[in-house]
């Protein structure tokens, strides 16, 4: 959902890719995630991919949803530590460093996660504007 929300903002100089630590290569988005995004008028085709060292090398910034994911990224690609943060950590958002993982949850859980992501991405947008990156 984070990728879709950020891509929907359509910044010319920002490239966004999503990859999972435990992703099954080529799977589509969950039905609940797709439903929530459609309710918000966001449609982005999505197929999952596994995070790789190439992804770390490509990225200027790696934002994870949880501290555990951040640690796994750094363990996989130690030299990416300086550019790897949880999304909430990077934007200095209150309420702990992790975005709730809705996997297996009902539509209400996915909506709560969307709300967390949307708030964090709005703060990210502000931060990137202040830094002159968008």
Helix/strand/coil percent split, the chain, to 5? 50, 5, 45
CATH class of 2-129: alpha beta
pLDDT given for residue 91 in this prediction: 97
In whole angstroms, give the CA distance from residue 43 to residue 33: 11
* Phi then psi dihedrals of residue 85, to 5 deg: -145, 160
> What are the extents of the domains in the chain?
2-129
Measured in Å, how far apart are the chain's first and last C-alpha atoms?
Answer: 21
pLDDT given for residue 132 in this prediction: 87
- Other Cβ atoms closer than 10 A to 123: 16
Share of the chain above pLDDT 90, in %: 74
pLDDT given for residue 47 in this prediction: 74
In whole angstroms, give the CA distance from residue 129 to residue 90: 14
pTM: 0.90
In whole angstroms, give the CA distance from residue 121 to residue 99: 11
In whole angstroms, give the CA distance from residue 133 to residue 19: 22
Q: Is 130 helix (H, G, I), strand (E, B) or coil?
A: helix
**Higher per-residue confidence, 10 vs 90:** 90
């Amino acid at each position: 959902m984070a990728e879709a929300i950020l891509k929907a903002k359509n910044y010319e100089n920002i490239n966004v890719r999503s990859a999972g630590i435990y992703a099954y290569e080529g799977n589509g988005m969950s039905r609940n995630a797709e439903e929530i995004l459609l309710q918000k008028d966001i449609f982005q085709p999505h197929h999952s991919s596994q995070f790789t060292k190439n992804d770390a090398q490509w990225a200027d910034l790696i934002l994870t949803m949880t501290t555990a994911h951040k640690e796994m990224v750094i363990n996989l690609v130690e030299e990416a530590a300086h550019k790897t943060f949880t999304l909430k950590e990077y934007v200095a958002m209150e309420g702990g460093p992790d975005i709730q993982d809705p996997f297996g949850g009902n539509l209400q859980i996915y909506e709560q996660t969307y709300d967390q992501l949307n708030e964090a991405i709005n703060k990210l947008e502000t931060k990137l504007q202040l830094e002159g990156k968008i």
